[in-house]
Amino acid sequence: MKLWGGRFTKQTDKLTEDFNASIAFDSRMYRQDIQGSIAHAAMLAQQGILTSAERDLIVSGLEEIKAELEAGQLEFTVEAEDVHMNIETMLTAKIGDLGKKLHTARSRNDQVALDVRLYLRDEIAEIRELILALEEALLKLGQEHLETIMPGYTHMQKAQPITLGHHLMAYFEMFRRDMGRLEDCLQRLLTMPLGSGALAATGFPLDREYVREQLDFQAITRNSLDGVSDRDFAIEFCSFASLLMMHLSRFSEELILWSTEEFAFISFDDAFSTGSSIMPQKKNPDIAELVRGKTGRVYGDLITLLTLMKALPLAYNKDMQEDKEALFDAVDTVKKCLLVFTPMLLTSQFDKNQMARSAGGSFTNATDLADYLVTKGLAFRDAHEVVGKAVLYCIDNQKALEELELATFKQFSQLIEPDVYQYLDISECVARRKIPGGPAPETVKKALQEGNEWVRRMKDDNK
């Protein structure tokens, strides 16, 4: 008989049972369910609703169930529907009717709201470490390529010379903001809903603050309806996950482009590449492509949750059972992508010479020539026109700006002197851009130092 079956006169149809059950996916929350039940039992005893002996039996029974589940000695059943009722059924089988007392002053509605929060808190801690590992990898590579000159792009056209270190640190900043979003999500996640009951709390004199302290939450939910009926914390996590994956996808796209023969900036390690079933010469960037592809999957998880919640009246509705698979998928996908992306990046080989050669083409120093003329007293808009004409001349004559003779330069402006050649040197173009946020090696070095300090602080905060 179902634990809720007193009002029913018929057995549940097998189709209904299968369709209604969530144990196939919510079983992964068994640790959190047991953790919450232990805190609840302790509070019931403190309030005199259970005796201390009853509490001890319940707690020891739950701990045994956890150990047996982890040892593979117990199995979940569809008949018990979900992780909550499976564990309660196991507990009753182990300690007798006393197990039925555990659910006093509690509903599956506030129980699942608690379990999901506990689960997500644990997963956020792991994701946090994975992001920090990626950030450390970017800092390491940024230091190695502090002076590796490469072209910067706008509109996928070569624009101005930068360094690879500067380029990598752009992604460092993106992931740092993602970490901030994750931390913000965690702050709103840490409200303890147990005690909300099904929707209207309970008449029992519960000590919700005691449970909050046991479970290390920052606050209790302030409204019982809200406590059981919203999943905005899960949506916020999926929003964070979508932005993180967007950044990983952009990074992946660049690495894929750079690995082509047309760019030849990077070579992926064999351990993080695959081949073709028909073309023996191929070495494919499948890991980066999969990360790029899985981004859409996480976007889908976010849209699933937003759509699920968009028109639900208060309080709990069975629709909300559908929140877990999307949330779990977002968690799993983010973790898998971060786990493989970092070593893929660290083992990649960057071709410094090819990057430098590429940075020297397509007039990436044209803006510097315009800036040079400004230093000689010409207004920038007039300098822009002068350089545009010089570039057109170079295109027609298949020359680079720095290859023009001084006499030819003077045809475009009498302000141009012999010192222009040093000004047009690609390394000098980069080194000159040393204001905060710029690509000059001395500026990037400071950014790397600050980035390392940030990572250390984040690690210390997690201890």
Q: What is the fold of 109-147+160-357?
A: Fumarase C; Chain A, domain 2 (1.20.200)
Q: What is the pLDDT of residues 125-140, one digit of tens each?
A: 999 999 999 999 999 9
pLDDT of residue 4 exceeding 60: no
Provide long-range contacts, Cβ within 8 A and 24+ apart, for 221-226: 221/191, 221/192, 221/193, 221/196, 224/110, 224/195, 224/196, 224/197, 224/199, 224/200, 225/196, 225/199, 225/200, 225/314, 225/315
Distance CA 265, CA 254 (A): 10
Spans of all domains in the chain: 5-104, 109-147+160-357, 358-461
pLDDT at 198: 96
pLDDT of residue 5 exceeding 70: no
| Burial state string for 312-322 with b = 16 or more CB within 10 A and e = fewer than 16 | eeebbeeebbe
Catalytic option among 166, 267, 273, 276: 276
Confidence of residue 1 (pLDDT cuts 50, 70, 90): low
Distance CA 254, CA 394 (A): 29
Q: What is the pLDDT of residues 376-412, one digit of tens each?
A: 999 999 999 999 999 999 999 999 999 999 999 999 9
Superfamily of domain 358-461: Fumarase/aspartase (C-terminal domain) (1.10.40.30)
Average pLDDT score over the chain: 95
Q: What is the pLDDT of residues 7-47, one digit of tens each?
A: 666 776 777 676 777 889 899 999 999 999 999 999 999 99
pLDDT at 158: 96
Catalytic annotation on 155? yes
pLDDT at 8: 61
The model carries a pTM of: 0.94
CATH architecture for the domain at 5-104: Orthogonal Bundle (1.10)
Q: What is the pLDDT of residues 431-463, one digit of tens each?
A: 999 999 999 999 999 999 999 999 999 999 876
pLDDT at 3: 62
Catalytic option among 84, 155, 196, 277: 155
